[in-house]
Amino acid sequence: MRKEDDFVVCRCENVYYSDLLEIMEDGANNSREIKLKSRAGMGFCNSRTCGPLLEAMTGDNSNELPHYVHLKSQPPLRTISLLDLARGNNDD
């Protein structure tokens, strides 16, 4: 049962703040582990929305620790229909 003050951190994968806290209590100590265990940051936006909060929760937002690789985010690809793909239409 979710608490009244709980909120969605990752809208793409519907991950709640309480879920992330439970994962951290189970031993995840960086945002990459949280991402892999909760799927937060693996949705359509590729952690552009929830990534900064994940890094702030774990303290991974500082550049002082060289052993950590920051969460990767990339822009979504433009969709193409199968019909355009079959015709070979590439307007780029």
Q: Is residue 69 in a domain?
A: yes
- Collect contacts of 59-62 with beta carbons under 8 A, ≥24 apart: 60/30, 60/31
Residue 51 CA to residue 31 CA, distance in Å, equals: 8
Q: What range does the domain containing 15 cover?
A: 8-87
Total tally of structural domains belonging to the chain: 1
Q: Is residue 92 in a domain?
A: no
Q: Give me the tens of pLDDT residue by residue for the chain, a chain 92 residues long.
A: 467 778 999 999 999 999 999 999 998 888 888 888 999 988 888 888 888 888 888 877 665 654 555 566 566 667 778 888 788 766 65
pLDDT at 31: 84
Q: What is the CATH number of the domain that holds 24?
A: 1.10.10.1100
CB-based contacts of 37, cutoff 8 Å, min separation 6: 23, 26, 28
Q: Is residue 31 in a domain?
A: yes
Q: pTM of this prediction?
A: 0.63
Q: Is residue 70 in a domain?
A: yes
pLDDT at 38: 93
